[in-house]
Chain A
Amino acid sequence: MIFSLPTFLTIGAILFALGFYNVLVRKNTISILMGIEMILNGAAINFAAFAFFTKAVGGGVMVLFIITLAALETAVALAIILSIFWINKTTFIDQASSMHD
């Protein structure tokens, strides 16, 4: 059976793993933010799959909360990133090291 619960959970898991790779490996802060968005979407696919395959409407409620909070967090994170860019003149995360020894 292709149209079943583990298929959708696998899709969510692969999205999560790819977003996780993005967060670990990238040097650009905006790329790290894109990785975080992919992680949140993977989790949202999981919630929506559980809401469909077991008749629980709480999954759909959680997906709406995830989307709302992701929008909010992206706005705040981009404000911070732009502020750091105005000071450092670059967005690479290994050059924001003025507090380093």
Chain B
Amino acid sequence: MKEIILIILAVITLGSAIFVSFSRNMIYSAFTLLLTFSGVAGLFSLLGADFIAGVQLLIYVGGIMILIIFAVMLTQNISEGKKNNLYRYPLTGLILSLGFLSIWIDILWSIPWETINQPYTPMSYRLGDSFLTENLFPFEMISVLLLVGLIGAVSIVRIAQSKEQVDVSRGTDTMEVN
């Protein structure tokens, strides 16, 4: 039963990742990446990381992808048509990434892994425990880093907006309203 669910989730994740990589429409890529991240959340929950699956859905699907879709909608021209996610030199990219992938898969399947076959136990108890005892300092540092990043992101936008010659309009939009 676990194998069937694993195969279905892997097909969903990798199929949508392939669609994201080879699509020529920006909106299609952005919305299919949502499906990829949901598949990854399913794979996390198969691996006993239930809290991490919830966090992935909240932050990646509900935060990062919404940001990216907003950015896509703010920076595309409606009148430009549907092919706005072009790529160049696809053959070189394919050769490089498939070369790396073949090396990694060859190495992975030829190492005798020593795994502990444990029954399915959720990891949230041990995670919370380690965040408060062993990994306390990285936990606090992540909070400081989040604060710094928030201030940085807002300040970049404010610097760009306060210059006189920057026009916060929607690009070269030539849509006519009848």
* Total interface residues in chain B, CB < 8 Å: 88
Q: Give the A-binding residues of B (Cβ under 8 A).
A: 2-3, 6-7, 10, 13-14, 17-18, 20-21, 26, 29-30, 33, 36-37, 40, 43-44, 47-49, 51-52, 55-56, 59-60, 63-64, 67-68, 71-72, 74-76, 84-90, 92-94, 96-98, 100-101, 104-105, 108-109, 111, 113-116, 118, 123, 126-127, 129-131, 135, 138, 142, 145-146, 149-150, 152-154, 156-157, 159-160, 166-168, 171-172
Over the window 53-79 of chain A, the binary record of Cβ atoms lying under 8 Å from chain B Cβ atoms (1 yes, 0 no) is 111011011011101111111111011
Task: Find out whether the CB atom of A76 lies under 8 angstroms from the CB atom of B156.
Answer: yes
Q: Mark A1-32, 1 if CB is under 8 A from B, else 0.
A: 01111111111011111111110111110110
Q: Of A3, A15, A89, which one neighbours B6 at CB under 8 angstroms?
A: A3
A41 to B39, CA, bound (A): 11
A96 at the A/B interface (Cβ < 8 Å)? Answer: no
Q: Measured between alpha carbons, how far is A76 from B153 in the docked complex, in Å?
A: 5
Establish whether residues A31 and B85, one from each chain, have CB atoms under 8 Å apart when the complex forms.
yes
Sort A-B residue pairs by CB-CB distance and give the 5 closest, nearest first.
A83-B160, A25-B93, A72-B149, A17-B101, A53-B115
Min CB distance B172 to A, Å, is 6
Bound complex: CA A55 to CA B64 (Å): 30
Interface size on A, residues (CB 8 A): 71
Q: Could you tell me the dominant secondary structure of chain A's interface residues?
A: helix
13 interchain pairs, CB-CB under 8 A: A6-B108, A14-B101, A15-B17, A24-B97, A30-B68, A38-B33, A41-B40, A54-B116, A63-B52, A69-B145, A86-B167, A86-B168, A91-B76
